[in-house]
Amino acid sequence: MFTNADELRHPDVAVEAWWWWGWTADAAVGVFVGLELRGRRFDYWAGLVRSGEPYLYVEELDGTGLRDGLDIKPPEMWAGHTCDVPFTQWSLGNEAHGVLIDEPMQTVRRPYGIPAPVTFDIEWYAAAAATAIPHGYEQVGEIDAEIELSDGVLALDGSAHRVHVWGAPYLPAALAMPIGDELMWAPYRRHHARGVLQVLTREGWLARTVDLP
């Protein structure tokens, strides 16, 4: 159904997106990375949630500095996304400055917080074959990651998921979202007056796209 070339860029489409998520078995730590290309411009997101800690959020919206493959080098940051073995292994990394946000729901409007340098080093491994979704495919897997923070290195391994779509943006639309005071939210902004409410659960990440007034 899919070829190895489908893992990489499709130059004949207006928009293309790759997303990766991972989380620990107890859902106490979760991480995500997203890249959306629109010609030579892009949106980039990365985030980390930890029980009892602020939400760490990195974004570069409508950015420039697209390099070969899926590497990006906008001012003051770098991020790479390498397909090591098609449908089997990806390597993801970044060196960036994010913000630590105490009230995550503010992120979709104004992601203000305490500046924080961060480095992601993530290995994503497939656990099953990719399955078709509208405009692309998704795949379950496992993650082995190290997140370098100002106060040390956080190691993370656990379950994982990824999505790759082309010809349309990735706009998650979970039918039901959980409620509760102890949930770990990781929302993110999009460049066109939309936001995504994203939350880590014991079953993995759930998300829903919302319009902003």
CA 63 from chain centre, in angstroms, equals 16
- Cβ-proximal residues to 181 (8 Å cutoff; 6+ apart), any chain: none
Q: Residue-wise pLDDT tens for the chain (213 aa)? A: 899 999 999 999 999 999 999 999 999 999 999 999 999 999 999 999 999 999 999 999 999 999 989 999 999 899 999 999 999 999 999 999 999 999 999 999 889 999 999 999 999 999 999 999 999 999 999 999 999 999 999 999 999 999 999 999 999 988 788 887 689 999 999 987 789 999 999 899 999 999 886
pLDDT digits (tens, 9 = 90+) for 40-86: 999 999 999 999 999 999 999 999 999 989 999 999 899 999 999 99
Q: In which residue are the tokens 């509760």 written? A: 180
Question: What's the pLDDT at 213?
Answer: 67
pTM of the shown model? 0.96
For residue 176, what are its two tokens? 């039901």
CA distance 210 to 186: 14
Q: What phi and psi values does residue 52 have, to the nearest 5 degrees?
A: 80, 5
Q: Which fold has domain 4-171?
A: AttH-like fold (2.40.370)
Mean pLDDT of the chain: 95
CA distance 56 to 119: 12
Q: DSSP letters of 129-175?
A: --EEETTEEEEEEEEEEEEEETTEEEEEEEEEEEEEEESS----B-S
- Cβ-proximal residues to 44 (8 Å cutoff; 6+ apart), any chain: 34, 35, 36, 58, 59, 60, 61, 63, 72, 74, 79
CA distance 16 to 9: 8
Contact by Cβ (8 Å): 145, 121: yes
Query: What does the domain layout of the chain look like in residue ranges?
Result: 4-171
